Structure 1
Amino acid sequence: MNFEYAALTDPGLVRDNNEDTVALDAENHLVVLADGMGGYNAGEVASAMATTFIKEELGRWLVEGGHEANARELKRAMEICIDNANRSIFNAANSNPMYAGMGTTMVMGVFMGTRTMIGHVGDSRCYRLRGNTLQQITRDHSLLQEQIDAGLISQEQAQFATHKNLVTRALGVEDTVLLEVNEYRVEDGDLYLFCSDGLSDMVSDQQLAAILMSTGGLQEKCRALVDAANGSGGRDNISVILTLARAKQVRRGLLSRMLGNGSS
């Protein structure tokens, strides 16, 4: 597979600062998006620490042979990386009063040929557009999602809930955190959307699908997604990463071309 990437982050229309951070490592087919939280500017410190640490540490592991690893080895490497990033943020939050209480949600993807490993903590999401079907392939670590799973609230009622942003997992809040990792098959034409809740809270799945299926390049679609969130009020920071998978064109060998040309 060949992969194309694009990303965009925007403060939105209400917040003074942007606590989201995105990171792309196209060479290692690694994408990371983090949505920070905390007083002062601590949220953006936490999200920047997370994306920088993951990009550097996991990127180094991939360079050193990680692309040849099996799914179990890659999953373990992602978990170790997140554990180390979590401890760094947690220690910073507990050693500097200005950073007290900071943390960040996170979603990441590693693309390896015909498979991808998606990891997340919190309510930053990954969607996959395959053909005309858009599917959310991460499940939020949030109080709202737990209530939905328990049958206490319906999906329709959840759209109007006032506690959408109460997450049950985040990096830096405790000394340990559990990363959820899942492996997916990648098909030709798959389009993956990684986003913060500043997009998913403001734009319906139907709108997301329509934008992703529209004409134009990946960067244009990133801009259209951000504009849609701002058009709905832009109440939070908005961040998106798009990854498009395309099957490599197989070049015919000289002998097959000669044989092909000789038959009619």
Structure 2
Amino acid sequence: MNIEHFAQTDPGLIRGNNEDSVVVDDENQLVVLADGMGGYNAGEVASAMATSFVKTELGRWLLEGGSEASSRELKRAMEICIDNANRSIFNAANANAAYAGMGTTLVMGVFAGSRAMIGHVGDSRCYRLRGTTLQQLTRDHSLLQEQIDAGLISVEQAQFATHKNLVTRALGVEDTVLLEVNEFRVEDGDIYLFCSDGLSDMVTDEGLAAILQPEGTLEEKAGALVDAANDNGGRDNISVILAHARAKPMRRGLLSRMLG
């Protein structure tokens, strides 16, 4: 598969700074999005540390042949990388009073052939548009999701909940964190949307699908997603990474090339 990427981040209409961080590593088919939280500027520090660490450490592993590794080996490498990133953020938060309490959610993807390995911590999400069907591939690590799973609140009621942003997992908050990783088969034409809750809280799934489905470049689609979130209030930072899968053309044989 050929994977085309595009990333965009926007502060939104309310926040004075942008605590989101996005990284796209085309060479290694690696994308990372983090949504920071904490005191003044600390969220920015946590999210930037997370994306930079993953790009550097996991990118190096992939470059050295990790993209050819088994799914089990790739999953383990992602888990180890996030564990090390978490310890780095946690130690920085405890060593510097200005960074006390900082942390970040994260969603990441590694595309290897026909595989997409999707990992996340917290409520940053990954969706997949296949044909006309949009599917949320990640499940939020949040108090609200736990209440939905327990049947205490419906999905419809959750749209109006006041505690949407209470996550149950985040990098840097404790000395250990568990990355949830799942593998998906990539098909020709798939569009993967990685986003912070600044998008998913402001635009419905139906709205996301309506923007992703029509023809257009990834840049146009990302811009439309950010605009939609801002049109609906833009209450938080908005970050988007789009990954579009295209099947590689089959190599033609010498005879067929000679015959045109």
Normalising by the residue count of structure 2, what TM-score does the alignment of the two structures yield?
0.99
Q: Deviation string for 1:149-207 (max 9, x for gaps)?
A: 00110000000000000000000000000000000000000000000000000001011
Q: Deviation string for 1:64-89 (max 9, x for gaps)?
A: 11011000000000000000000000
| 1:238 maps to 2:238 | yes
State the partner residue of 1:60.
Answer: 60
State the partner residue of 1:105.
Answer: 105
Q: Distance in 2 between matches of 1:257 and 1:235?
A: 56
State the partner residue of 1:190.
Answer: 190
Q: Distance in 1 between matches of 2:60 and 2:73?
A: 15
The residue type paired with residue 66 of structure 1 is G
Per-residue deviation, 1:215: 2.2
Per-residue deviation, 1:115: 0.6
Superposed structure 1 runs of 4+ greater than 3 Å apart: none
Q: Distance in 2 between matches of 1:55 and 1:239?
A: 17
Q: Distance in 2 between matches of 1:44 and 1:200?
A: 20
State the partner residue of 2:201.
Answer: 201
- In structure 2, runs of 5+ residues without a counterpart are none
State the partner residue of 2:155.
Answer: 155
Q: Distance in 1 between matches of 2:86 and 2:229?
A: 29
Q: Distance in 2 between matches of 1:33 and 1:252?
A: 38
State the partner residue of 1:228.
Answer: 228
SS of the residue corresponding to residue 111 of structure 2 reads strand
Q: Percent of counterpart pairs with the same letter?
A: 82
Per-residue deviation, 1:229: 0.2
State the partner residue of 1:29.
Answer: 29
Per-residue deviation, 1:8: 0.2
Per-residue deviation, 1:255: 2.3
The residue type paired with residue 172 of structure 1 is G
- In structure 1, runs of 5+ residues without a counterpart are none
The residue type paired with residue 248 of structure 1 is K
The residue type paired with residue 253 of structure 1 is G
Q: Distance in 2 between matches of 1:117 and 1:96?
A: 34
Q: Deviation string for 1:197-225 (max 9, x for gaps)?
A: 00000001011001001221001111000
State the partner residue of 2:70.
Answer: 70
Q: Distance in 1 between matches of 2:102 and 2:228?
A: 28
Per-residue deviation, 1:257: 4.9
| 1:82 maps to 2:110 | no
State the partner residue of 1:50.
Answer: 50
State the partner residue of 1:250.
Answer: 250
Q: Distance in 2 between matches of 1:214 and 1:11?
A: 26
Q: Distance in 2 between matches of 1:254 and 1:63?
A: 32
State the partner residue of 2:41.
Answer: 41
The residue type paired with residue 33 of structure 1 is L
State the partner residue of 2:18.
Answer: 18
Normalising by the residue count of structure 1, what TM-score does the alignment of the two structures yield?
0.97
The residue type paired with residue 4 of structure 1 is E
State the partner residue of 1:2.
Answer: 2
Which structure has the bigger radius of gyration?
A: 1
Query: In the TM superposition, what are the counterparts of 1:85-96 in structure 2 within 5 Å?
Result: 85-96=85-96
The residue type paired with residue 3 of structure 1 is I
Superposition RMSD in Å: 0.9
The residue type paired with residue 213 of structure 1 is Q
Q: Distance in 1 between matches of 2:134 and 2:168?
A: 25
SS of the residue corresponding to residue 45 of structure 2 reads helix
